[in-house]
Amino acid sequence: LAKTTQPISMDSYEGQEVNITCSHNNIATNDYITWYQQFPSQGPRFIIQGYKTKVTNEVASLFIPADRKSSTLSLPRVSLSDTAVYYCLVGYSSASKIIFGSGTRLSIRP
């Protein structure tokens, strides 16, 4: 049974690097892993996507180990405005299923 699991909450401080990990079993070779950010009263917003090794864009990095059973979103030098809920999403192509994790509530302190 496909499942996407992530920690419920995390706390950090401004200027620190934050790593949020997502576990996803039964992931297939071509299944993509995507991360979203959500602020209160808004829809989720795309952050980054990948399916192997490492992907980096202007706001985050995504690390995916060889077995692909987990992935880590890395936010460098967070600020107060990064306080939000972060969701991991996997599209399980073999089952035509799309499963969001339960979300990680990230709180950044001054």
**Minimum distance between the CB of residue 90 and other proteins, rounded to whole angstroms?**
8
87 contacts other proteins (rule: CB under 8 A): yes
- Which DSSP category does 95 fall into? G
29 contacts other proteins (rule: CB under 8 A): no
Q: Which of 10, 28, 55, 99 binds other proteins (CB under 8 A)?
A: 99
CA pair distance 22, 102, nearest whole angstrom: 10
Q: Which of 89, 104, 106, 108 binds other proteins (CB under 8 A)?
A: 89
Q: Which of 13, 17, 45, 79 binds other proteins (CB under 8 A)?
A: 45
103 contacts other proteins (rule: CB under 8 A): yes
CA pair distance 29, 36, nearest whole angstrom: 21
- Two structure tokens written together for 104: 């990680």
| 98, 89 Cβ separation under 8 angstroms | yes
Task: Please provide the distance, in angstroms rounded to a whole number, between the alpha carbons at the two ends of the chain.
Answer: 41
Q: Which residues of this chain interact with other proteins, rule CB under 8 A?
A: 32-34, 36, 41-46, 49, 87, 89, 91, 93, 96-100, 102-103
